[in-house]
Chains A and B, each alone.
Chain A
Amino acid sequence: MSGVAVHLQGLRRTFGTVHALDGLDLELHPGELIALLGPSGCGKTTALRILAGLDDADSGKVVVDGKDITRLPANRRDMGMVFQAYSLFPHLTARQNVEFGLKLRGRERTTGRATEMLELVGIEQHADRYPHQLSGGQQQRVALARALAIRPKVLLLDEPLSALDAKVRVQLREEIKRIQTEVGTTTLFVTHDQEEALAVADRVGVMRAGRLEQLGAPADVYLSPASAFVADFVGLSNRLPGVLTGEGVEVLGTTLPLVSPATGATNVTALVRPESVDVVPDPAGAGKVLTASFLGPFSRVIVQVGDDLVTAQVASGTVADLAPGTPVRVELRPVAVALEGIS
């Protein structure tokens, strides 16, 4: 079965004086997985809950498969939802949890469908266990099976991995990607973890203060952030002083192109990714290595240049030459950068 289109139109929602959603527009193509990414309080969870029918928008429309469902109660929306944690019914086994929605629909071959789903998420051998007998990762697999069993129009994932260990998290997010591609259900995935969003999504939407800051393919969002906020939130950035010139911005003696043209102030702060920084040992260099930490395939080197600290990501093979105190030269690769405070 192929997915359906989802369109959130001009959603607004306020809690007291806080604008959780401030006119959010978002369109999901059929079968697409969009990850909504943003800091806590940016409105991403509110958007998902309004789509699920668990929260009401003050204004705006929710259109699924061409039909306006804004006023439809949650239990008639056919949305499969996976929560952050602890959403399995504790008095039912894994299988009974998966069957719950199927039985409500009075569908035939409930057992067969449940088994199918448990196999899909790789948990069939634990089908008769209760939630408290399953690990956190296994519980989330069952929750995913339960959500998919009802053949939902849309799959909603509300930070499904944030309560899990780092290793399980990576494993499970690959699985989610695989399963979503296999069943082809249109999916909205809410997370605050940028790595997770970039890894699973077809498109990533970065949210800030109730609005979409940028929506695009993971590579675009990472490599050409539309604003300083996106550049800062997605990935790690150095904040380095720069001077605006005709062609771009001059940072540490190198002129870098800009993500979006800027005018006005001449003294600005540029956001430069650590992987765009090269560190070369040079007795005449202006910089000095402060610390070097080994992180596996890469190492992180912090260099002091005048009053500024520059973080660089270098291949671990070269770190041997970069002991603390070594005089170095810092070179920036000509990758487009964003400026802080200018969007």
Chain B
Amino acid sequence: MARLTFRRRQSVFRWVVLGLLGVFFVLPLVAMVEFTTRGDQKTWSTLVDWPQLSETYPDLADGIVMSLGQAALTAVLMLVLLVPTAIWVRLRLPGLRRLVEFLCLLPLTIPAIVLVVGLAPVYAWVNYLIGGSSLTLTFAYTILVLPYAYRSIDAGLSAIDVRTLAEAARSLGASWFTVITRVVLPNIRSAVLSAAFLTVALVLGEFTIASLLNRTNLQVAINLLGKSSATMSVAVSLAALLLAFVLLLLLSLVGDRRKKAS
């Protein structure tokens, strides 16, 4: 029975590949757990005890706070900048769509390390105008997340017939502001949500720009910590990774729901 052997062979192949690669991918995670629980160190109990953590590792605590701030601010700035523009261009300026898309995807071809080189003089002005807080990294991060956020929002807009929706609302007497906030936005809610999730995940993992512009965030702090306390830095890495896991899993759930809805 030729078909049956074929299917059985496929199944064997599947489990061999999944098994071998599975070990490769799970091993570092297991190793991190083992590494941070060796001996009777108090690594994990310190990590969950915020007052003690900020006292023992002030740089780390500072980095965590900064990263959370950057993530929140970047998500907000990205949404404010991108969502109205994407909708407006689709509705009223279709001729500009290619240009907007090109600009949004451009950061993909400009490595972060290259962007830093060019950002240095720009940030000299930022320093001069609003100071050198690590939260100013938000400006650079908004550019960094542009391609991912744009794709998500664009996919959301493609899934609905924006034009017809808008024409229907306009014919019922809605202003353009109402069209955008009351008609289009509710229909791309999950796309906007996934863009925000992605933004947060990306910002929490950013190291290049923060480190080279001499600012701090979670990743910079972990790297710094690695030089003095390897165990703690591995523990924080694992925690950060798990957080990213949860965020991106939520993201894929949102995506699934969207697929089912459409």
Contact = CB atoms under 8 A, between A and B. Distances in A.
The reply, when asked whether chain A contacts chain B directly with Cβ atoms under 8 A, is yes
Contacts of A56: 1-4
Interface string A237-261: 0000000000000000000000000
Contacts, number: 11
Interface residues of B, number: 4
B91 to A, nearest CB: 31
A73 interface: yes
A55 B3 CA distance: 7
Contacts of B3: 54-56
Contacts of A54: 3
A73 B1 CA distance: 9
Interface in B1-24: 1-4
Interface in A48-104: 53-56, 71, 73-74
A53 B3 CA distance: 9
A56 B2 CA distance: 8
**For chain A, what secondary structure do more than half of its interface residues adopt (helix, strand, loop), or is it mixed?**
loop
Nearest to A70: B1
A71 B2 CA distance: 8
A54 B1 CA distance: 11
Question: How large, as a class, is the contact surface on chain A?
Answer: under 10
A81 to B, nearest CB: 16
A53 B2 CA distance: 9
Nearest to A73: B2
Interface in B110-128: none
A48 to B, nearest CB: 15
A304 B2 CA distance: 58
Contacts of B1: 56, 71
B191 to A, nearest CB: 29
A69 to B, nearest CB: 12
Interface string A121-159: 000000000000000000000000000000000000000
Nearest to A74: B2
Contacts of B2: 53, 56, 71, 73-74
A74 B2 CA distance: 9
Contacts of A53: 2
A100 B1 CA distance: 26
A73 B6 CA distance: 11
Nearest to B2: A73
B10 to A, nearest CB: 15
A305 to B, nearest CB: 46
Interface in B213-255: none
A30 B2 CA distance: 28
A54 to B, nearest CB: 8
A53 B1 CA distance: 10
Nearest to A58: B1
Interface string A20-64: 000000000000000000000000000000000111100000000
Contacts of A71: 1-2
A76 to B, nearest CB: 10
Nearest to A75: B2
A56 B5 CA distance: 11
A21 to B, nearest CB: 15
B239 to A, nearest CB: 45
Nearest to B1: A56
A73 B2 CA distance: 6
A71 B1 CA distance: 7
A93 to B, nearest CB: 30
Q: 9 nearest interchain CB pairs?
A: A73-B2, A56-B3, A56-B1, A55-B3, A56-B4, A56-B2, A53-B2, A74-B2, A54-B3
11 contacts: A53-B2, A54-B3, A55-B3, A56-B1, A56-B2, A56-B3, A56-B4, A71-B1, A71-B2, A73-B2, A74-B2
Interface of A: 53-56, 71, 73-74
Given A53-B2, A54-B3, A74-B2, 8 more contacts: A55-B3, A56-B1, A56-B2, A56-B3, A56-B4, A71-B1, A71-B2, A73-B2
